[in-house]
Amino acid sequence: MTRLWLAALFCTCCVPLARAQAPAPPATPLRLTLPVPTTTDAPAAQLQGRWTPRPRITSGKNVSLELRAKLQNDGAWFNPVVDPEDEGFIWRRRRLAVRGEFFNRVEFEVEREFGDEVEPWRDVWANVKAHDLLEVRGGKFKLPFGLDNMTSSVEHDFIFRSLGTRAIAPGRDIGAMLHGEAARRRFTYAIGVFSGDERQVADSERFFDDDQGADSFGRTVSGRVTVQPLDGASSLPSGLRNLEIGASGAWSKVAEGLNSFKGNSVFGYDYFERVWVNGNRVRTGIDVAIVSGPGSLKAEWINASDERLGQGVDDGDLSNMFTRGWYVAGSWLVTGEDKEDTVSPKRPLLRGGVGAIEVAARYERMLLGSAADASEPAFDNPRAENLRRSQDAVLTVGVSWYLNRWLKAQGNAIRESFNDPTRTPIDGTATYWSYVSRLQLAF
C-alpha cells in the first residue's frame, strides 16, 4: 500500500509541475484592492497572491502570509536484516506550516506534523525584530545548537543527521531566545532559556523523527555563535572567504536515575545502555563549514558530559559519563549549480534538462564511556566507575536528484561498524549495511 502511495505522490506532483513549467506567458498575480480608511486621496492598498516558490499573500510591505509543506517518504533495506518489519516504506514527515510577517518587524510560524499523534506541534513561535543584531523569539522551536542540528531536513545532504547530533543536540522546546546577525552574516549569535521536558523521548520516536533531539530535564540554557573571519579578504578564494566557524553550548540538570545518553545505531538499535546519572549536563560543540560554487565541506565535533553524583554502589560520586560524536562531510553538484540552502536546478526535469544531481559522503564516529582512569578495570555495570566504552563508526555515501525546486529524490548507502561485537544488533556481527531512499516534496 505504501508503494502505491509513493507512486501516486510522484505522479501527482510531477505532472502538474511539468505542465506548469512549460513555456507560457508570465502569470498575472492575484490582486484584490481594498479601500484604505484614511483620506480620499490615499492610494488603495492591494493584496497580491503568488503560487511560486510557495503559496503566498502579501499586502505591500505590511503583511505577508505563506503556506509551507514538507512531505517525505522513506524506504529502507538491510544486510544483514535485524528486524524484517523495519524494511519497506514509511512516511517520515507530513508537515504543514503557516508563516507570516507584519511590518517587517514581527514574524510567526505554526507547524504541525500529521504523522505524530503524541506531540504533533513542531514550530509554534513569534519573533520581534528591533534591529539586525537584536531579535527576540518566544514559543516552541529548536534550541540553538550545532550546525547539523540547525540544518533543515529539507535542505540536508543526507537522509539522516549524524549520530552525534541525534544523540546529543537538544531538540524543540518552549522558551525565549535573543538572536541577531551582522551584515553578510559575518557574525551571528543566539542564546535562549527553555523550560525542559521531563518526558524521556522513546527510541522509536527519535528514530521516526531525528528532529526530536536529546532529552533535556528541567531548565536548559543553550546558545550558538558563528563567525566568518575571512569574509572581507577579497584577495582570497571564495571558498576561504565563505569559511564559517561555529561554537555551541548547552547547560541543564539531569534527573537522578537511568537518564544518561544512550548509544543507538542509525536505525535505533542499542549498543550502549543508559547508566545512572545525577547532576549537571553540559553539552559543547564546534563546527566548520566551507561552501564554494557547487561544493561544500563540513566538519563538526559534539561532546556531552553527565555528572554521576552519589551514584556509586557506596553512594559515592562517580566519574562523569561522556557521549562524543564527530563527522566530516563533503558534497558536490556535478551538474554545476551553486551550493545554496535551496538548490534550484539550472535545467529542471522536463524543461530541457535532467535537474540537478549532487553526490555526497560523510564519515562519522560516536563514542560513549566514562572519564575514569583508563587503568581502572572497565565494566558494563551502570554504576561502574570505569564504564566499558563502545563506538559506532559510520560511512554514508549518497546521491541527491533535484528534479525541480520542489521535488528531490535521495539514495544513501550506510555502512556501520561497531568496535564491540558483543554489544550489537546481532550478537557477534560487527558490520551492517543499510540502503535508504527518500522522495521529498517541499515548498
What is the DSSP secondary-structure string of 48-97? EEE-SSS-EEEETTTEEEEEEEEEEEEEEEEES-S-GGGSEEEEEEEEEE
Sign of CA pseudo-dihedral 268, 272, 273, 277: negative
pLDDT in tens, 66-94: 999 999 999 999 999 998 988 999 999 99
Q: What is the CATH number of the domain that holds 393?
A: 2.40.160.10
Q: Using omega within 30 degrees of 0 as the cis cutoff, is the peptide bond preceding 80 cis? A: yes
Longest dimension (CA), the chain: 87
Any idea which of 2-11, 240-249, 384-393, 432-441 has the lowest mean pLDDT?
2-11
pLDDT band at 33 (very low <50, low <70, confident <90, very high): very low
353: which DSSP letter?
B
β-strand partners of 362 = 329, 396
Alpha-carbon distances of 414 from 271, 363, 401, 417, rounded to whole Å:
17, 10, 18, 10
CA dist 256 and 279 (Å) reads 7
CA dist 351 and 114 (Å) reads 33
pLDDT in tens, 196-253: 766 666 665 555 567 777 877 789 999 999 999 999 888 888 888 999 999 999 999 9
Q: Which three cell numbers stand for residue 401?
A: 536528484
Mean pLDDT of 130-144: 97
- Domain limits for position 386: 47-442
- Cβ-proximal residues to 98 (8 Å cutoff; 6+ apart), any chain: 65, 66, 67, 68, 109, 110
219: which DSSP letter?
E
Residue 393 lies in a domain: yes
Residue 42 lies in a domain: no
pLDDT band at 181 (very low <50, low <70, confident <90, very high): very high
**Amino acid (1-letter code) at residue 190:** A
Q: Which helix (H) or strand (E) holds 149?
A: helix 147-150
pLDDT in tens, 214-230: 877 789 999 999 999 99
The pLDDT score that the predictor gives to residue 238 is: 82
pLDDT band at 369 (very low <50, low <70, confident <90, very high): very high
Of residues 344 and 200, more confidence is placed in 344
Q: How many domains does the chain have?
A: 1
Residue 421 lies in a domain: yes
The pLDDT score that the predictor gives to residue 30 is: 42
Tell the residue number behind the cell numbers 544531481, with chain if given.
Answer: 357
CA dist 93 and 211 (Å) reads 10
Mean pLDDT of 298-326: 97
Residue 20 lies in a domain: no
- Cβ-proximal residues to 300 (8 Å cutoff; 6+ apart), any chain: 146, 147, 148, 162, 164, 165, 285, 286, 287, 288, 326, 327
Residue 63 lies in a domain: yes
Of residues 32 and 221, more confidence is placed in 221
pLDDT > 70: what percent of the chain?
87
268: which DSSP letter?
S
Task: Assess contact for 193 and 173: CB atoms under 8 A.
Answer: no
Residue 415 lies in a domain: yes
Residue 11 lies in a domain: no
- Cβ-proximal residues to 352 (8 Å cutoff; 6+ apart), any chain: none
Polymer length of the chain? 443
Mean pLDDT of the chain: 88
